[in-house]
Structure 1
Amino acid sequence: MGLLSEGSPLSWEETKKLANHVREHGITQFINLYHRLKDRTGDILKWGDEVEYIIVKFDDENRVARVSLKAPELLNYLNEKELADPKGVKSLWRPEYGAYMIEGTPGRPFGGLMAHFNLVEANMRYRREEVTEILDKDECVMSITNFPRLGAPEFTHPIYYPNPDDPNSSAKSLYFPDEAIFPAHPRFKTLTRNIRKRRGEKVAIKLKVFKDINTKLPVEGAPKGEPDVVALDAMGFGMGCCCLQLTFQACNINEARKLYDQLAPLCPIMLALTAASPIYRGYLTESDCRWNVISSSVDCRTEEERGLRPLSENKFRIAKSRYDSIDSYLSPEGAAYNDVPLTYDEQDYKRLRDGGIDPLLAQHVAHLFIRDTVSLFSEKIDQNDEEDTDHFENIQSTNWQTMRFKPPPPNSSIGWRVEFRPCEAQISDFENAAIVCFVVLLTRVILSYQLNFLIPISKVDENMQTAQKRDACRKEKFWFRKTSKKSCYINGNGVNGVHNGTKENGETNHEEYELLTVGEIFNGKADTFPGLVPLIRSYLQSMEVDPDTHCTIEQYLRFIEKRASGELITTATWMREQVLNHPDYKQDSVVSDRINYDLLKRIKDIQEGKVIEPTLLGKGNHSKTKDSLPPALQKQLALNGCCENK
């Protein structure tokens, strides 16, 4: 979710008056931080995952499943363990937007040893078991992207009803009660209220309903003139979704900028591969992913900024929500692919340039800072810009993009980092671990082979929309970089055929990219691209990998290539099939309480290993990772050090 400052939240009226103050001091703080740490080098690879979970309560007598609003209670217990033994805990737990959500990370990050891939799934399994131990018998912790009936009547336990007419309501939603927002930290309700007030109206999230034979139009609550739209009207519909994220520490700022750029074109591809959320407010929709839902759920742009009215009170027309795909590359190699004009304040840009920040990084920061702060605490107004970075992080952490470029925190051993944010949460620890290990290995291949995946930012934007279409993983094509037919990526010393993709006049070369299927991107296409999985396997051949680790990695890679090829289906496709084939389904697009209950019960059985779903996981994809390793290896891991995965 980002920075969780403590203190007394300000109203929107108070926050608005201080927007320029936060912007001015935030830029100063970044300039100071940059010059303190720009020459930092030698940091080793450290990485960690973040999995967000939903707590579900089953009413077996009435065949109803609801979200359980007990996250604050769970976190109190889990955080006590951390406070008692901060260096010894195997997992860390943090609040998320929903009162039914928690976020778990490893107790310490993984590092550069190949053996760490043996620990990822085991640690995820430990997290799930740790929470399960303190749940009631009729409750379950689930790594699902979206609760299918979120916003449907009586979806919470205890049951609460929306009260949009309550003057104290933060969301004023017709469907999402304020009680479902995490209550123990003021940031969440403050964000909800201030985003709505800044926008000048409630957020408007619109999804096309999946039209079946008996689908009734207009859908209940559909906007006037849009009968086939499932309407969602609160931040909770987006920020109440779960995801799977990774953070990597780079050895220096230049490596971090390179990773940021090279991973950005892969974000929509990974979104399509991990698609897991086809149901919203109890309706099957035409979307398979959460991304546009979250984007709209925090879209605080006014009508002027959205281009619906002439600019008068606002300074800019802003093309996207503050939650969206990135708008520019940061490395010199990416400059020619920045084909979407960036909106930023010229004075902010000049301040950054005069402060010694290079043009690409200066325009990136200036672009982030076109946003107002939407959450400010009275204790954080006046800061020491030489030492503090809270004003910078205030804006940085509320630009929720597919990639995040993260400077080191002040007075910390943590280095320059990159956060990879597009993936949807998967049902099982095996799937989540496979995705995490695949992306980590891909970063090693990118750096080792000096790969170039850059395509124009406009094509990445196009891919992000394609990725969310129904069954995009099997049915759609995506813009992707290709090699020349006379060259191959791999030779004895690394990679050939990696061009900068530009002509002599600086324009991008359109012959460098084409439309490929997800299967072709991951598994290869003759004379075009060797495939991400084969590239990883080639890289592993040059590494010393022990048999256990090789077995684990190969199992993950086989799963990835089968998911990409369509031999295994995405979670979203599997969920659709479960609904469409349910005996109670009336071919009306509605996911009833009974259907939802049975679907979640099935998911519970899958994640606990009680049933096998061959079309989803394949056969034999059970954990081969270890909860513990030999003492000598444990000593190696301890010497590898740790850093907080902020």
Structure 2
Amino acid sequence: MGLLSEGSPLSWPETKKLADHVREHGITQFINLYNLLKDRQGDVLKWGDEIEYMLVKFNHEEKKAQLSLRAQDLLPVLQITEKENPEKASSLWRPEFASYMVEGTPGKPYGGLLAHFNVVEANMKNRRKEVSALLEKDEHILSITAFPRLGCEGFCVPEVKPDPVNSASRSLFFPDEAIYLAHPRFRTLTRNIRERRGEKVAINVPIFKDVKTSSSFKEDLSALGNDGEKGKNALPDHIYMDAMGFGMGQCCLQLTFQACNIKEARTLYDQLAPMCPIMLALTAASPIQRGHIADTDCRWNIISSSVDCRTREERGLEPLKTNRFRINKSRYDSIDSYLSPEGDRYNDIPLVIDQEAYQRMRDAGIDHLLAQHIAHLFIRDPVSLFSEKINQNDEEDSDHFENLQSTNWQTMRFKPPPPKSTIGWRVEFRPCEAQITDFENAAYVCFIVLLTRVILTYGLNFLIPISKVDENMQRAQKRDAVLNEKFWFRKDLVAQNSSESVANSIGIEQDEISVEMTIGEIINGKGDEFQGLLPLISSYLSSVEVDADTHCTIHQYLRLIQKRASGELMTIAHWMREFVTKHPDYKGDSIVSEQINYDLLTTMDGIQNETIECPALLDHSRSKTQSSIPDPIRMAENCPSTC
């Protein structure tokens, strides 16, 4: 979720008055950080995952599954080891937006040894056990992206009703009690985003039209209370949602990499950006929203709309009078520019930037690409500020910079080292949806990490025009995108920039660098036309030493990726939709009832606990994962870094 400063939260009018102060000092802090750390070298490869989980309470007598609002009870206990003996903490725990969510990460980052790939799944299993040991009877922890009946009547326990008049969100469906209230950031964000926007957020997701779905579907919201807007932003044939919780209350899988230096971090940021829509489609896991089957498979546009604080002027609906910019996207969206010199030629989307901030950074010696990236982030206002953090020492603090950096929630995040830290330059990969099992989550994590090794080892080039990445992001969210959509992808991954310059000089357009391919072709290859990412990874693995157990585990992970990409195994989204539509209680009307929801979640719980087999999702999910690296292999970590 980003920066979790403690303190007394300011109202939106108070925050708005200090927006220029935060931006000015945030830029100063970034300039100071950059000048201090731009020449930092020799950091070793480290990486780690973040998984967000939901707490679910099953009522087996009434056949109900509800979200359990107990995160603030569990987190202090989960954090005891980290606070008292951090060296022995195998996992770290943080609050997330909702009071039914917790976020878990490994206690220490993984390193450069291939043997670390064999520890990932075991650590994820241990995280699940840590939480499970604290749960009440019939309470379970699930790594699912979207709770199917989030926002429906009685979706949480204890059962609380929304307050459309006095709550932070004014939601007709999502009560404040479902927000994590033990930290002031989350409710403050909810309130300030709504007040800055000038109205509630509006999320409209196309509904899946089944045989008995109304031909002009639109719900009657009048019985839910008067929110002052009377559902005016609800569109026909769409599932309507109206609160930050419908986006930030969903779960995801994220990865962070530490690079050797700033140059490598910029390279990874750029090269992984075209992979974001590919991985979003491949991990699709959220086809049900607010008790209805959607005609989309992913959460991305939902979460983007849920934090869209742009005013009507900024959205281009009214002439600019009181705001500074027309802004094309929500603050939660895909990236708008590459950062490396190699990527510059593919920056084909005009950037809206804070010109004053840009010039300050250029005058301080920061190059054009990085300066415009930061200046683009700084067109936003801060939407959460604490009174204790207003005045800072810009030589030592970075909270004002992180305030805006951490509330630009994009597909990729470029992360400078924190002040006075041993942490290096990092890149965060953010599009993936959470999977049901630890095996699946570990498989996707290891696939992306292996891909970074291949990119850096072979000097591969994945760059395509940034506008094509945006197109891919929209295609990725369509129903069964893995089966039915094609995606722009670079057709020659080994083409170096010098040859591109020659091509451009003789009139070959950049569009010809990329072609449309299916997910299966991108991942598995397309005959002689395209080698495929998995064959490249296999080639890399054959050139390095890897112990037998790790090799077996990686093979199982890559097999899952290969079969999900080809369609031989279903995505979770496809499986969920099929489960609902084939359920005996389903009426063909796109509605997911309480009974169907209960049966779906108990099945998902059984799959993750390996008490239910699901060959449509997982034909073989047995790895040789282990909780630690054997000592003979670990000794290799003491070798000097080649970074």
Equivalent residue letter for 1:598: D
CA distance in 1, matches of 2:458, 2:342: 15
Opposite residue 49 of structure 1, the aligned amino acid is D
401, 409, 424: which one aligns with 1:400 = 409
User: 2:171 maps to what in 1?
Assistant: 173
Deviation string, structure 1 residues 513-555 (Cα, Å, up to 9, x no partner):
1100000000011343200000000111110111111111111
Could you tell me which runs of 5 or more consecutive residues in structure 2 were left unpaired when the two chains were aligned.
222-230
How far 1:87 moved relative to its partner? 1.1
Q: Is the 8 A contact 1:223 1:229 kept in 2?
A: no
| CA contact 2:204–2:234 (8 Å) conserved in 1 | no
- Name the SS for the 1:51 alignment partner: strand
Q: Distance in 1 between matches of 2:518 and 2:114?
A: 30
Q: Partner letter of residue 525 of structure 1?
A: K
1:136 aligned to 2:145? no
Q: CA deviation at 1:466?
A: 0.2
Q: What is the distance in 1 between the residues matched to 2:500 and 2:31?
A: 30
Post-superposition shift, 1:299?
Answer: 0.2
Q: Rate the CA distance shift 1:162–1:559 in 2: closer, same or farther, 3 A.
A: same
Distance in 1, matches of 2:108 and 2:299, equals 29
Q: Which residue number in structure 2 is paired with residue 68 of structure 1?
A: 68
- In the TM superposition, residue 630 of structure 1 has moved relative to its aligned partner by 2.7
1:125-182 CA distance string (max 9 Å, x none): 000011111101201100000100000011010000001112xx11110000000000
**What TM-score does the superposition give when structure 2 sets the normalisation length?**
0.96
Q: Deviations over 1:67-126 (max 9, x none)?
A: 000000010110122212111110000000000000000000100001001100000000
Structure 2 SS opposite 1:614: coil
Instruction: Please tell me the residue identity of whatever aligns with 1:614.
Output: P
- Aligned partner letter, 2:192: N
Equivalent position of 1:622 in the other structure:
622
Cα deviation code 1:413-442 (max 9, x no counterpart): 000000000000000000000000000000
Task: Please tell me whether the aligned partners of residues 143 and 425 of structure 1 are also in contact (alpha carbons under 8 angstroms).
Answer: yes
Change (3 A) 1:507 1:376: farther
**Cα pair distance change 1:325/1:628, threshold 3 Å:** same
Q: Which runs of 5+ in 1 are unaligned?
A: 490-494, 642-646
1:218 paired to 2:217: yes
Letter in 2 for 1:133: A
Equivalent position amino acid for 1:218 in 2: F
Amino acid at match of 1:242: C
Shift of 1:631: 3.4
For residue 616 of structure 2, give the secondary structure of its aligned residue in structure 1: helix
Following superposition of structure 1 onto structure 2, how do residues 598-637 of structure 1 map, counting pairs within 5 Å?
598-618=599-619, 620-634=620-634
CA distance in 1, matches of 2:105, 2:117: 15
Kindly indicate whether residue 264 of structure 2 is the aligned counterpart of residue 263 of structure 1.
no
Deviation at 1:636, TM superposition (A): 5.3
State the one-letter code of the partner of 2:175.
Answer: P
Q: Partners of 2:356 and 2:508 in 1: how far apart?
A: 28
Aligned residue pair count: 629
Q: How many angstroms apart in 1 are the aligned matches of 2:590 and 2:135?
A: 33
Match of 2:463 in 1: 454
2:205 to 201, 207, 217: 207
Partner residue in 2 for 1:107:
107
Structure 1 residues 438-517: aligned runs within 5 Å: 438-483=447-492, 489=494, 499-500=499-500, 503-504=504-505, 508-517=509-518
Once the two structures are superposed, the pairs formed by residues 234-245 of structure 1 within 5 Å of their partners are 234-245=243-254
Query: TM-score normalized by structure 1?
Result: 0.95
Pick the aligned partner of 2:184 from 186, 208, 220. Answer: 186
Letter in 1 for 2:66: R
SS in 1 for 2:140: strand
* Alpha-carbon distance in structure 2 between the residues aligned to 1:82 and 1:506: 58
The reply on whether 1:412 has 2:421 as its aligned counterpart is yes
Q: Could you say if the C-alpha distance between residues 319 and 42 of structure 1 is closer, same or farther in structure 2, counting changes exceeding 3 Å? A: same
Q: Does 1:577 align with 2:578?
A: yes
1: CA distance between counterparts of 2:524 and 2:46?
27
Contact in 2 for aligned 1:207/1:287 (Cα 8 Å): yes
- Secondary structure class of the residue paired with 2:141: strand
Q: 1:624 to 1:19 in 2, by over 3 A?
A: same
**Paired AA for residue 484 in structure 2:** K
User: Could you tell me how far 1:346 is from its partner in structure 2?
Assistant: 1.6
Distance 1:41 1:506 in 2: 39
Cα drift, residue 225 of structure 1:
8.0
Partner of 1:126: 126
Tell me the distance in 1 between the aligned counterparts of 2:363 and 2:625: 52
Instruction: Give the CA RMSD over aligned residues.
Output: 1.7
Q: In the TM superposition, what is the alpha-carbon distance from 1:628 to its structure 2 partner? A: 3.5
User: Is the Cα contact below 8 Å between 1:218 and 1:226 reproduced in 2?
Assistant: no
2:313 is matched by which residue type in structure 1?
E
Aligned counterparts of 2:181 and 2:367: Cα–Cα separation in 1: 42
Q: Does 1:344 align with 2:373?
A: no
Distance 1:225 1:408 in 2: 43
Q: What amino acid sits opposite 1:460 in the alignment? A: V
Assess if the C-alpha contact under 8 Å between 2:282 and 2:565 holds in 1: yes
Kept in 2: contact 1:336–1:506 (CA 8 A):
no
What is the aligned partner in structure 2 of residue 312 from structure 1? 321
- 3-state secondary structure, aligned to 1:617: coil
